[in-house]
Amino acid sequence: MRGMKIDFVSDVACPWCAVGLNALERALTQLAGDPQFTETVDIEFQPFELNPAMPPEGEDTVQHLSRKYGIDAAQIRRNQEALRQRGAAVGFTFGERKRIHNTLDAHRLLMWAGEVGPSGSQRRLKHALLGAYFTQGQNPGDTEVLVAAAGQAGLDANAARALLGGPRYRAEVREREQYWQGLGIHSVPAVIINSRHLISGGQPPEVFAAALRQIAAEAAAATAPQD
């Protein structure tokens, strides 16, 4: 049985990252029943900030998206409805999101969870943060929201609060962001398989499943004994 490493480069404030993660997980569930796919899969969440200069108070969603993309409120509503439908198709619920927020502390917490938390805790925390922001409309830069998400993910809430009260992982998050940007990652989600193969965007589960199946088959062929 071979191992497959997936680096999921994303932001907590990226709606297509929520769609992409749920679609990827559905693809992995499908592949679990495929006798030809025998990989053990490890997902590691990598930081990417869509709005690294966003102030702590955040910004009105409509104003921010209108300025950033040059679209009006009607187009924003249509886009949000399309996202709700895509989210529902993969089991993710989009609620009302009134403000865009800074996500540096969320990435610090995710990095901490990946380093010190038990197996699966980083993934559970990612889901908790995406749900807090996109489903419940909470601020992912607020300490109380982050501590609650840590507890929901099975992490030590007091340790999470202590971490957020200091500077730990700020430099490390920015270094990782620069690393991925240096490799050409400028939009998310970016799903990198075994440090070699890139799948961009919030693809449907079938697309993820087909790509992972092909990558696994190619890896098996490369390591098969030659006659």
Q: What domains lie within the chain, and their CATH numbers?
A: 3-223 (3.40.30.10)
Does 33 score more than 90 pLDDT? no
Instruction: Yes or no: say if 98 and 139 are a contact pair by the CB < 8 Å rule.
Output: no
pTM for the full model?
Answer: 0.95
Percent of the chain exceeding pLDDT 90 equals 89
The chain-wide mean pLDDT, for the chain, equals 95
Taking residues 114-128, what's their average pLDDT?
95
- The DSSP 8-state label assigned to residue 139 in this structure reads -
pLDDT at 186: 95
Classify strands 40-47 and 3-10 as parallel, antiparallel or unpaired.
parallel
Higher pLDDT, 42 or 33: 42
pLDDT at 77: 95
Helix or strand run (H / E) with residue 7: strand 3-10
Taking residues 134-142, what's their average pLDDT?
97
Does 205 score more than 90 pLDDT? yes
pLDDT at 224: 64
pLDDT at 1: 56
Does 225 score more than 70 pLDDT? no
Taking residues 26-44, what's their average pLDDT?
92
Percent of the chain exceeding pLDDT 70 equals 98
Q: What is the dihedral of CA 198, 201, 205, 206, to 10 degrees?
A: -70
Helix or strand run (H / E) with residue 43: strand 40-47
* 19 Cβ neighbours under 8 A, 6+ residues apart: 83, 86, 87, 90, 92, 202
**Cα 68 from Cα 64, distance rounded (Å):** 6
**Cα 167 from Cα 112, distance rounded (Å):** 12
